[in-house]
Amino acid sequence: MAEVAVLKQDGERMVSTATSPVPSPALTATGVGKRFGSLQALADVDLALRPGEIHCLLGENGAGKSTLCNLIFGLHTPDSGSLALGEAPYRPRGPADALAAGIAMVHQHFSLVPELTVLENLCLGAGWRRFDRRREHTRLAATAERFGITVPFDAPIATLSVGQRQKVEILKCLARDPQIVVLDEPTAVLPPSEIDSLLDLIERMAATGKAILLVTHKLAEIARVADRITVLRRGRVTLQSSGHQVSRQALATAIVGEQVADLDAAGTPFGRRIVFGQKGMPVPAAALMLDGVEIVDGLGTKKVENLTLLVAAGEIVGVAGVEGNGQTELGLALAGLLPLAAGRYFSGDIELTGASPGAVSAAGVGIIPEDRHALGGILGMAIDENVFLGALDPFRQGPFVDRKAMRRATQTLIERFDIRCQGPASPFASLSGGNQQKVVLAREITLNTRRLLVAAQPTRGLDIGATRATYSHIQSVTRDGAGVLLISSELDDLLSICDRIVVMYRGRIIGEQAAGTYDRQALGALMSGHA
């Protein structure tokens, strides 16, 4: 049986063949189509998942990746085409049917109950048998040890970091011993130090004979683990290939539909860097000044200690560090969502120590939160309402709001930021994670930012084209005179766009490097606590 690589571009079809044999598919999608109203989410999609293989699924935000995963997991039903498990038709009526058929899925957005412990979350949906805590702990601990996953079983989910919650989601999936595993952006929330261990885990899963569908935007991950690759663009397959037969440049081109230049070794689009602090260059006024800041979480644990930091107007300062070293709490505090236990916070000449989120926004500080799903928008509201909820004055007509004018303004932003949706009235919850991020970005950059933009993980879950556009928008803020504090676990992104990088470890800044003097290995050592 021959392996076939197919590339479709502008109606043309190019085929290459190899002679290596391949196993029979565990799951096959043939000619699958799905429409939501006027939006054609998928059209004529073919896909084959084989036992023991890692099949990577790529595409822009809104390309149909999550829709295809949801069809496989029974959350949607196809409008056309068919699914098959082995030789048998597969028509799941819901996730319960998928689980019963041996298919499990780790979703892009967490499906955990914050108030329950890790163990209790892992046991949800396990049936009506009597809950034996000790027995379940032993069983799940054995599964966790088998796959090298470390989680605090007795801790409430609400107390865990984003990376720890992702591990719980994966362990919850593995506890059912599925034969087909769908992973929708599992590394998007993980720091660099944890991505390698997760990829090792995925390879171990495949080595046990499981068929893996891995959705990711990171080309370096694909180069490492992909046995097979499918690329979607606007709901259609543009490329299918063996993981070893296609270059990163070809993948990037298939994803965005145009030639993508300037990819570094990690597949990161380079940004334009303005180097501050050169001899003879005046130092602009401070967009952000933190003086001796300390932050304590709800359990009384000190998360940030004696942090002093200055961000100049027009400067991009990156905050690097392994997740769980105080970056999340710093972002929340700057947004007014977490009080300072000590120290002072200024933006320009305005003191924001103890300020509410509304006061922070009114002072000209834009916030792109780490968790866009929970903090970036209101899921039940439309896109236009999410964008202009805090800036309705231009649309007021007495006690009423001119909704038509507000939607026209939103449509302009939809086009500028390439938000894939049915229109301004579309529910925020209906958007893919990447397009939700674009809505938040559009709001914070165009409406609220006057002095400072605090961007926490702004490209998490975004494809190559959207990442490049996001950094272009962020750089435009600095050209208008605002400073940027960029908190990211993507070290390659920080290296490509920042004027300075500071490294946080256990709540402290333990090192700093300036553009032009970056040493990636030294930064990595700092992130591990080796000052």
In a domain, 508, yes or no: yes
Same domain membership, residue 185 and residue 86:
yes
Residue 319 near residue 485, CB atoms below 8 Å: yes
Same domain membership, residue 81 and residue 54:
yes
The DSSP output letter for 457 is: S
Which residues touch 186 (CB under 8 Å, ≥6 apart)? 106, 166, 169, 170, 198, 202, 214, 216
Angstrom distance (rounded) from CA 450 to CA 344? 20
Tokens encoding 504: 């946080």
Same domain membership, residue 418 and residue 480:
no
Q: Residue 232 belongs to a domain with what CATH number?
A: 3.40.50.300
Residues recorded for the chain: 531
Same domain membership, residue 382 and residue 335:
no
Tokens encoding 185: 């952006």
Q: Characterize the bridge pairing of strands 88-89 and 80-85.
A: antiparallel
Q: How many CB atoms lie within 10 A of CB 219?
A: 23
User: Looking at residue 191, what is its pLDDT?
Assistant: 58
Question: What is the tens place of the pLDDT at every residue in 102-114?
Answer: 999 988 777 788 8
In a domain, 62, yes or no: yes
Tell me, rounded to whole angstroms, the distance of Cα 316 from its chain centroid.
21
Same domain membership, residue 430 and residue 289:
no
What is the SS3 assignment for 94?
A: coil
Which structural domain, as residue segments, surrounds residue 172? 112-177
Question: What is the tens place of the pLDDT at every residue in 170-182?
Answer: 888 888 889 999 9
Q: How many CB atoms lie within 10 A of CB 344?
A: 15
Is the per-residue pLDDT at 269 higher than 50? no
In a domain, 60, yes or no: yes
Domain count for the chain, please give it: 4
In a domain, 373, yes or no: no
Question: What is the tens place of the pLDDT at every residue in 16-25?
Answer: 334 456 678 9
H/E element, 141: helix 133-147
Is the per-residue pLDDT at 342 higher than 50? yes
Angstrom distance (rounded) from CA 460 to CA 508? 24
Angstrom distance (rounded) from CA 448 to CA 357? 12
State which amino acid sits at residue 181: V
Q: Where are the beta strands (DSSP E) in 61-137?
A: 80-85, 88-89, 103-106
Confidence of residue 285 (pLDDT cuts 50, 70, 90): low
Which residues touch 167 (CB under 8 Å, ≥6 apart)? 149, 150, 151
CA dist 218 → 57, 226, 350, 510 (Å): 11, 11, 39, 28
Residue 363 near residue 482, CB atoms below 8 Å: no
Is the entire prediction scored with pTM above 0.75?
Answer: no
Edge to edge, the sheet with strand 365-368 lists 365-368, 452-456, 483-487, 316-320, 500-505, 508-514
Averaged confidence pLDDT in the chain? 82
**Tokens 């439309």, located at residue:** 382
Same domain membership, residue 348 and residue 495:
yes
User: Looking at residue 268, what is its pLDDT?
Assistant: 46
Same domain membership, residue 453 and residue 316:
yes
Angstrom distance (rounded) from CA 314 to CA 312? 6
Q: Which of 69, 83, 79, 72 is nearest to 39 (CA)?
A: 79
Is the per-residue pLDDT at 215 higher than 70? yes
Residue 73 near residue 181, CB atoms below 8 Å: no
Residue 303 near residue 341, CB atoms below 8 Å: no
Pick the last residue of a domain from 256, 287, 309: 256
Expressed in angstroms, the distance from the first to the final Cα of the chain is 54
Question: What is the tens place of the pLDDT at every residue in 165-209?
Answer: 888 888 888 888 899 999 988 876 665 666 777 888 889 889 889
In a domain, 369, yes or no: no
Confidence of residue 55 (pLDDT cuts 50, 70, 90): very high
Same domain membership, residue 460 and residue 435:
no
Pick the last residue of a domain from 447, 463, 495: 447
Same domain membership, residue 463 and residue 404:
no
Same domain membership, residue 187 and residue 65:
yes
Pick the last residue of a domain from 224, 256, 288: 256
Same domain membership, residue 199 and residue 53:
yes
In a domain, 55, yes or no: yes
Q: Which of 231-240, 306-315, 370-379 has the lowest mean pLDDT?
A: 370-379
Same domain membership, residue 294 and residue 237:
no
Q: Which of 122, 148, 166 is nearest to 204 (CA)?
A: 148
